[in-house]
Amino acid sequence: MTNITGRVREAFRGDQRVDADALIARLDAVRRFLTAVDGLLPDAELVPAHTLVERAGTRLALSRDHTVVALAGATGSGKSSLFNALAQLELSPVGVRRPTTGVTHACVWGPLEGANRLLDWIGVLPRHRFVRESALDADDETALHGLILLDLPDFDSVQRSHRLEVDRLLGLVDQVVWVVDPQKYADRVIHDSYLREFHRHRDVTVVVLNQADRLTPAELPRVLDDLRRLLDADGLTGVPLLSTAAIDPAGMVGLRGAMERTVAERQAALRRLAGDVDTVVTGLDELVGSARPAGGPDDTAVDGLNRALAGAAGVPAVTEAVEQAYRHRAGAATGWPLVRGWRRLRPDPLRRLHLPGPTGDQTDPAESLVAATSVPDPTAAQRSALGLAIRAVADRAATDLPAAWPGAVTSAARSRLGDLPDALDRTIAGTDLGLDRRPLWWRLVGGVQWLVTLAAVVGLGWLVLGYALRALGLPALDNPMVGQVPLPTLLLLGGLLAGLLVAALTRPLVRWAARRARAHAEQRLTAKVARVGDEYVLTPVRIVLGSYAQARDALRDAARR
């Protein structure tokens, strides 16, 4: 399985510009992904993507002209001192008591109005917002117009609330300046818990070694080299590393220059969000992978499903009844008239199952709400065979999908299981079993049977009449002879024999036609039952496979830088 997010470029992009429209397209792709997987993948896994979509939308809508830069670091590293030095005002208290800064302070270069909505969203209280704009130094500060600088509390604080505040803000700001000092620059907390986590945000990360004035000129390059080595190990190769001295204006030149470039580029917000998209896409990769989505449920599994559905729907019982009913009805129509009445007394095997119901395809089975037939309920074995067949359809459809999906496919396949028995019953009831028409040959044979019976009756009457006349001593009837046999006797015996003969000859024909009727009914029932399977089992599976394909395409688009 090749990794979709292999496409997310890991290389440090440095000066590479992020196109706002391309970023919006990537965010749209993440949104499409979320729509596609809604209800199918565990919500917990989707939280970062939802957060990103929501945050990015708000950030871009609020202001693209401002750049929010946070000064983050351990307590005492000098964040507030750098904040004040950049603002050239004592805005954020600097102290000896640790930690000093408990709430985030903001300084806005340029008019505050435009920045206020952004600061409301970021959550900096109005009393901690300052404006760096005065008539005297307006020109000096123009290079920083659009900068919103934040002085964060310490992330290694004894105060848990400080850490929570820092974590919240690090998710919202456009650029982070990590402030370390010569004593604690190698501290594990900053490297393991923070810097390493930011490796996808290298192009909006700056590291500052503050209090450089405390090092001798010989020590400074050694410490910077050591720090660079640690940053490389954190995955932050190539990020700007500066040394500063908050107490000395000359020691602020490098950082100020870096800030001016960031503000001038107006890229930090876009780069930060692009990094966020990279992170989210990489996190989602495992959920989606790059398996080719199956075209649809597998044919063999579908055949198995249709067989199991036919069994559960009682198709064999119905087709058996169709064959019996055909024989019953054909017998009643073509049998020897003298025993037809007796046949009619026996119940019709189809009527016993309350079949056929409404005939033909005109009736939509879904419209009839009550169970329509008396076809026996599926046995436990048939029910479990159906369960297994549905499972097999789901398993085969999800074979190549990543681990998060087979569960969704199986749930979809089983989602309408409870409605299946009624749907199957209605379908059986609504299927034209082909027994409504009385074939012409039944009528012909039936007519012949009536004729020969009539002949026998006439012969019998004639004979009875002759016998009665003789008994009364009246003149006998003149019986015409056919060969050696008197005509009335021939009519009676011939009629009886012919009736029996026709019945005997018709019987194999009826049996053959009954088997054909059964085969036709089986074909129709199987097709109808398969349609139910398609609607109740396969369609939900196809919908999930479609969602998978959409999610995969969307994630691929989101990965494209």
Cβ closest to ligand GTP, residue 94 vs residue 118: 94
State the Cα–Cα distance between residues 340 and 435, nearest whole angstrom: 19
- Cα separation of the two ends of the chain: 21
Of 101-109, 438-446, 454-462, 490-498, the segment contacting Mg ion by CB under 5 A is: 101-109
Among 9, 17, 64, 98, binds ligand GTP (CB under 6 A): 98
Among 104, 211, 267, 410, binds ligand GTP (CB under 6 A): 211
Is there a contact between 172 and 55 (Cβ–Cβ < 8 Å)?
yes
Tell me: does residue 80 bind ligand GTP (CB under 6 A).
yes
Tell me: does residue 78 bind ligand GTP (CB under 6 A).
yes
Instruction: Give least dist CB 247 to Mg ion, A.
Output: 15
Tell me: does residue 80 bind Mg ion (CB under 5 A).
yes
Tell me: does residue 76 bind ligand GTP (CB under 6 A).
yes
Cβ closest to ligand GTP, residue 154 vs residue 203: 154
Cβ closest to ligand GTP, residue 128 vs residue 391: 128
| Residues numbered 459-478 forming contacts with ligand GTP, rule: CB under 6 A | none
| Residues numbered 135-164 forming contacts with ligand GTP, rule: CB under 6 A | 154
State the Cα–Cα distance between residues 231 and 217, nearest whole angstrom: 22
Question: Which of ligand GTP, Mg ion, none is residue 26 near (CB under 5 to 8 Å by kind)?
Answer: none
Among 67, 84, 101, 211, binds Mg ion (CB under 5 A): 101
Phi, psi of 73 (to 5 degrees): 170, 180
How many amino acids of this chain bind ligand GTP (CB under 6 A)? 23
3-state secondary structure of 405: coil
Question: Which of ligand GTP, Mg ion, none is residue 81 near (CB under 5 to 8 Å by kind)?
Answer: ligand GTP
Cβ closest to ligand GTP, residue 159 vs residue 479: 159
Cβ closest to ligand GTP, residue 186 vs residue 291: 186
Is there a contact between 527 and 265 (Cβ–Cβ < 8 Å)?
no
| Degrees to nearest 5, angle at CA 304 with 299 and 310 | 125
Beta strands in 76-166 (DSSP E): 105-108, 129-131, 147-151
Tell me: does residue 267 bind Mg ion (CB under 5 A).
no
Instruction: Give least dist CB 90 to ligand GTP, A.
Output: 11
Among 5, 77, 100, 334, binds Mg ion (CB under 5 A): 100
Cβ closest to Mg ion, residue 100 vs residue 262: 100
Closest CA to 106 of 96, 95, 89, 97: 89
Question: Which of ligand GTP, Mg ion, none is residue 246 near (CB under 5 to 8 Å by kind)?
Answer: ligand GTP
Tell me: does residue 524 bind ligand GTP (CB under 6 A).
no
Of 28-36, 209-217, 257-265, 415-423, the segment contacting ligand GTP by CB under 6 A is: 209-217
Q: Which single residue is written with the structure tokens 């700001």?
A: 173
Q: What is the largest CA-CA distance in the chain?
A: 161
State the Cα–Cα distance between residues 197 and 102, nearest whole angstrom: 23
292 exposure class (CB count in 10 Å sphere: 0-12, 13-18, 19+): exposed
3-state secondary structure of 176: strand
Look up residue 395 and give its two tokens.
């398993």
Cβ closest to Mg ion, residue 65 vs residue 187: 187
What angle do the packed helices 380-397 and 539-559 form, to 10 degrees?
20
**Integer CA distances (angstroms), 163 to 44, 152, 158, 166, in order:** 23, 10, 9, 5
242 to 261: interface string for ligand GTP, x by CB under 6 A = ---xxx--------------
Chain centroid, CA 318 distance in Å:
37
Instruction: Give least dist CB 231 to ligand GTP, A.
Output: 19
Instruction: Give least dist CB 157 to ligand GTP, A.
Output: 7
Question: Which of ligand GTP, Mg ion, none is residue 358 near (CB under 5 to 8 Å by kind)?
Answer: none
Q: What single letter denotes the amino acid at residue 522?
A: E
Question: Which of ligand GTP, Mg ion, none is residue 75 near (CB under 5 to 8 Å by kind)?
Answer: ligand GTP
State the Cα–Cα distance between residues 117 and 121, nearest whole angstrom: 6
What angle do the packed helices 440-471 and 315-334 form, to 10 degrees?
40
561 exposure class (CB count in 10 Å sphere: 0-12, 13-18, 19+): middle
Q: Which single residue is written with the structure tokens 């499972």?
A: 391
Instruction: Give least dist CB 177 to ligand GTP, A.
Output: 12
Tell me: does residue 157 bind Mg ion (CB under 5 A).
no
Instruction: Give least dist CB 71 to Mg ion, A.
Output: 9
Contacts with ligand GTP by CB under 6 A lie at 73, 75-81, 94-96, 98-101, 154, 210-211, 213-214, 245-247
Contacts with Mg ion by CB under 5 A lie at 79-80, 100-101
